[in-house]
A = this chain, B = another copy of it.
């Protein structure tokens, strides 16, 4: 079994979020036939690992083995240097059950103030995993460094985007044109690596 993804390959995207599936479809240039884990009624596995690639792998593995299809999963988040990498794999959890990222961003600001340090550096990570049913899996990771800004700026993007200023840029991800963000983001970097490896 060669580790490649031929054009037209049917792929299950291990997300129950239709928006994320659409975003992935756009990035994959409509090269594949995509179906989501939600559409197939697959269960959502627990994300028990301490790393982004570990959790992406759990999701891709579960979807591939349950569906018999090649599966793609992502896991991403914000890591803050002065917080020892937090929120990291708990980035979504910090927003609580209502996915309140205004709350999550305040939490980051408060914890940073508690450190009384000067280091505002942070990075976004996106891990991608592709798993073959009962077979191997390939994982890649994209990382984008930046600086946190308070107060938050901009209403575009999602998650922690309004407090993240990518290195060398004037606009936060919350202010930036979506196409510009999509071209430089941690997700784009991860997909570049995945394409180089598998396409």
The interface of chain A, by Cβ under 8 A from chain B, is 1-3, 48-51, 53-54, 57-58, 61, 135-140, 193-194, 196-198
Max chain B Cβ within 10 angstroms of own Cβ: one of A48, A136, A193? A136
Q: Which residues of B contact A61 (CB under 8 A)?
A: 53
10 of the cross-chain contacts (CB-CB < 8 Å) are A3-B198, A48-B50, A49-B50, A49-B54, A53-B61, A54-B57, A135-B197, A136-B193, A137-B139, A137-B140
Give the number of times this chain occurs in the complex, counting copies: 2
The CA-CA distance from A136 to B138 in the complex, in Å, is 7
Q: Which residues of B contact A194 (CB under 8 A)?
A: 136
Q: Which residues of B contact A53 (CB under 8 A)?
A: 57, 61, 137
The CA-CA distance from A124 to B62 in the complex, in Å, is 19
Question: Who on chain B is nearest to A137 by CB?
Answer: B139
The CA-CA distance from A139 to B53 in the complex, in Å, is 11
The CA-CA distance from A196 to B3 in the complex, in Å, is 9
Closest 6 CB pairs of A and B: A54-B54, A136-B197, A48-B50, A136-B140, A3-B3, A49-B49
Q: Which residues of B contact A57 (CB under 8 A)?
A: 51, 53-54, 57, 139
Given A1-B197, A54-B51, A54-B57, also A138-B140 (CB < 8 A): no
Q: Which residues of B contact A3 (CB under 8 A)?
A: 3, 138, 197-198
Q: Of B136, B193, B196, B198, which one neighbours A139 at CB under 8 angstroms? A: B136
The CA-CA distance from A78 to B194 in the complex, in Å, is 33
The CA-CA distance from A108 to B54 in the complex, in Å, is 28
Q: Which residues of B contact A50 (CB under 8 A)?
A: 48-49
